C-alpha cells in the first residue's frame, strides 16, 4: 500500500531538519569544542527554537554521536568510491589512506573534537567501535590482495588496525602541529610505502 503523501512529506521535513541541526552542531563543535558547546547555541546556529532541538535529539551527547556517525558515513562512501576506482591492491590501499588523510584535513576542527572526546572514558569503547567498520573493510581488501598474490598471507585484521593507527597518528600530527608542512600526497605516499613494505607487499 502506498505511503500517504502527508507521511512522506513529514519524513522529508524531518530529515531536512535533522540535517540542518547536524550541520549547525558540526560547526559549533568544531569552533568551541564539545564541553563549551551549549544546546542553545546549536539551536541558534540552526535557526531553531531550543525546544524544537529536543524534538529531534535527546541531548548534546546524542547530537555529537549523530554528527560523528554522519561524518563517518560520508568518509566511508568517499573511501569506497576512490578504492573502487583503481584495479590493483597497492592502488586501493593508497586510496584508502589518502581519502582518510584528506577528509580529516578538510574537517580538521571536528577531528580535533573527536580526538579529544575519544580519550574520555565514556567514549573509548565507542571510538573503537566507530573505527571497526573501516578496519573490517580494509581487512577484506587485504584478503583480496592476498588472493590475487599481491600481498602475503598474514593476520589481516591486525594489519588493518595497525594501518588505522598509523593514519590516526598522521592526522593527529597534521591537525595539532603548526609545523606540519607535508602535503596530503606526501604523507600518503610515505605512509603507503612504509606500510606496504611492513606488510610484505
End-to-end CA distance of the chain: 54
Do 82 and 40 belong together in one domain?
no
Residues constituting the chain = 201
Do 146 and 101 belong together in one domain?
yes
How far apart, in whole angstroms, are the C-alpha atoms of residue 45 and residue 33?
15
Q: What is the pTM of this model?
A: 0.84
Do 24 and 81 belong together in one domain?
no
pLDDT at 109: 84
Do 135 and 190 belong together in one domain?
yes
How far apart, in whole angstroms, are the C-alpha atoms of residue 36 and residue 141?
40
Is-contact 177 112, C-beta < 8 A?
A: no
pLDDT at 178: 59
- Rounded alpha-carbon distances, angstroms, from residue 132 to 17, 29, 72, 154, 165: 29, 24, 11, 19, 12
pLDDT at 1: 46
Do 93 and 164 belong together in one domain?
yes
Please count the CA atoms within 13 angstroms of the CA of 18 that sit on its side-chain side.
Answer: 18
DSSP-assigned letter for residue 151: S
Cα R_g (the chain), whole angstroms: 20
Do 121 and 181 belong together in one domain?
yes
Structural domains counted in the chain: 2
CATH number at residue 7: 1.10.10.60
Residue ranges making up the domain that contains 135: 65-198
Do 127 and 193 belong together in one domain?
yes
Do 9 and 78 belong together in one domain?
no
pLDDT at 5: 53
pLDDT at 50: 86
Is-contact 89 144, C-beta < 8 A?
A: yes
Do 159 and 74 belong together in one domain?
yes
110-167 pLDDT, tens digit each? 888 888 887 777 777 888 888 899 999 999 999 999 999 999 999 999 999 999 999 9
How far apart, in whole angstroms, are the C-alpha atoms of residue 174 and residue 191?
14
Residue position matching grid coordinates 590493483: 88
Do 20 and 91 belong together in one domain?
no
How far apart, in whole angstroms, are the C-alpha atoms of residue 6 and residue 4?
5
State the average pLDDT over residues 45-64: 88
Do 80 and 152 belong together in one domain?
yes
Do 90 and 147 belong together in one domain?
yes
Helix (H, G, I), strand (E, B) or coil at 141: helix
Q: Residue 18 burial (CB < 10 Å; 0-12/13-18/19+)?
A: middle
Amino acid at each position: 500500500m502506498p505511503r500517504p503523501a502527508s507521511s512522506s512529506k513529514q519524513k522529508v521535513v524531518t530529515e531536512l531538519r535533522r540535517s540542518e541541526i547536524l550541520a549547525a552542531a558540526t560547526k559549533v563543535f568544531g569552533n568551541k569544542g564539545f564541553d563549551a558547546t551549549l544546546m542553545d547555541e546549536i539551536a541558534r546556529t540552526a535557526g531553531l527554537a531550543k525546544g524544537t532541538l529536543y524534538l529531534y535529539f535527546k541531548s548534546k551527547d546524542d547530537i555529537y554521536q549523530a554528527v560523528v556517525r554522519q561524518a563517518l558515513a560520508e568518509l566511508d562512501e568517499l573511501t569506497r568510491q576512490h578504492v573502487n576506482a583503481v584495479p590493483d591492491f597497492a592502488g586501493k590501499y593508497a586510496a584508502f589512506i589518502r581519502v582518510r588523510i584528506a577528509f580529516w584535513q578538510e574537517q580538521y576542527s571536528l577531528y580535533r573534537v573527536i580526538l579529544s572526546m575519544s580519550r574520555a572514558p565514556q567514549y573509548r569503547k565507542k571510538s573503537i567501535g566507530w573505527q571497526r567498520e573501516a578496519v573490517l573493510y580494509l581487512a577484506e581488501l587485504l584478503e583480496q590482495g592476498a588472493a590475487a598474490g599481491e600481498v602475503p598471507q598474514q593476520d589481516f585484521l591486525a594489519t588493518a588496525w595497525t594501518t588505522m593507527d598509523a593514519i590516526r597518528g598522521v592526522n593527529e600530527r597534521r591537525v595539532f602541529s603548526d609545523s606540519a608542512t607535508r602535503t596530503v600526497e606526501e604523507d600518503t605516499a610515505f605512509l603507503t610505502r612504509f606500510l606496504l613494505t611492513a606488510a610484505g607487499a
